[in-house]
Structures are given as structure tokens and as C-alpha cells.
Amino acid sequence: MSKAKVLFICTGNSARSQMAEAFLREYASDDFEAYSGGLNAEGIHTMTKQVMQEVGLNISDQESKEISRFLGKKHFGFLVTVCRKAEENCPTFPDVSTRLFWDIEDPKSFTESDQEKLDKFRETRDEVETKVKKFIAQHS
């Protein structure tokens, strides 16, 4: 039996979608193939790497990718947009079985001190992890 492919999309593929890809791979790689992409590829934010490492997930092998890499080239069972901008601007992917929207605030947009920004990245990481676990429970 083949695994369902899941594509997580955000604006820059630098934080939220990268986190979701890593958590899905960590918790359900037997059932799902996890991918992520962005409307633009902005590179993975250093705080994304840091907060994921804090929970034991090394994402140094992941890369920031534009969704054009996947459009029309892979069939996805699930497409999950993780921000409003991606939801509003994501092109139509043919043959997607289920499309979901998770409205998660961009931790990069938080412009306070470095410590407060890091705290926002941690909060976002925890929110993404909760949503991924709920997704797995609903779709496994």
C-alpha cells in the first residue's frame, strides 16, 4: 500500500511548513510522505532550525523550495496551506484529494526583541506540532 503524500505550503517555506514537514515525517513516516514548499523559497530561518533542534528534530537536510517544483509533477493526497497568504495565492494543484487550511501566524513577522521572537518561534512550533498530531489522528 502506498503512502499518502502531504504537501505543506506557506509563504516562504522558511518556518511553518518546514516544521510541519518535519513533524509529520517524525510521527507518521510509515503512513505519509511529507513535503513542503512556499510561494517563494526564502531559505529556512535560523530560528526554525533552532527551535526544532530543541525538540530533538534536526532539519538541516531539509531545503526551502518553491511550490512550482511540485505543481503538475506529483499527486498529493493532501495539500495543507498553513497561512492565509498561501491559502489566498496558492495555485490549483490537479488531483489533490483533500485541501486543508491551517491559519498559523508567521513567527518571522514578530519584530520585537530576539528573545521575544524566539519565543514566538517556539509557540509556532508547538502549534504546528499539535495540528500535525491532530491531522495524523484524523487521517491515518
> What integer pLDDT is reported at residue 1 of this predicted model?
63
> What integer pLDDT is reported at residue 76 of this predicted model?
93
Is residue 112 among the annotated active site residues?
A: no
H or E segment and range at residue 118? helix 114-139
DSSP per-residue letters across 88-101: HHPPPPTT-SEEEE
Is residue 90 among the annotated active site residues?
A: yes
Question: Which position among 20, 83, 86, 128 bears the catalytic label?
Answer: 83
Question: Which position among 6, 7, 9, 10 bears the catalytic label?
Answer: 10
> What integer pLDDT is reported at residue 36 of this predicted model?
97
For residues 12 and 79, give the distance between their C-alpha atoms in angstroms, rounded to a whole number. Answer: 16
Task: Write down the residue that cell numbers 514578530 correspond to.
Answer: 110
Which residues of the chain have a pLDDT value below 70?
Answer: 1
> What integer pLDDT is reported at residue 2 of this predicted model?
83
> What integer pLDDT is reported at residue 79 of this predicted model?
96
Task: Write down the residue that cell numbers 497561512 correspond to.
Answer: 83
> What integer pLDDT is reported at residue 111 of this predicted model?
76
Helix (H/G/I), strand (E/B), else coil: 13:
coil
Architecture of the domain spanning 4-139: 3-Layer(aba) Sandwich (3.40)
> What integer pLDDT is reported at residue 130 of this predicted model?
98
Question: Which position among 90, 104, 128, 132 bears the catalytic label?
Answer: 90
> What integer pLDDT is reported at residue 71 of this predicted model?
86
Is residue 10 among the annotated active site residues?
A: yes
Sorted by where each begins, the domain ranges of the chain are: 4-139
> What integer pLDDT is reported at residue 73 of this predicted model?
84
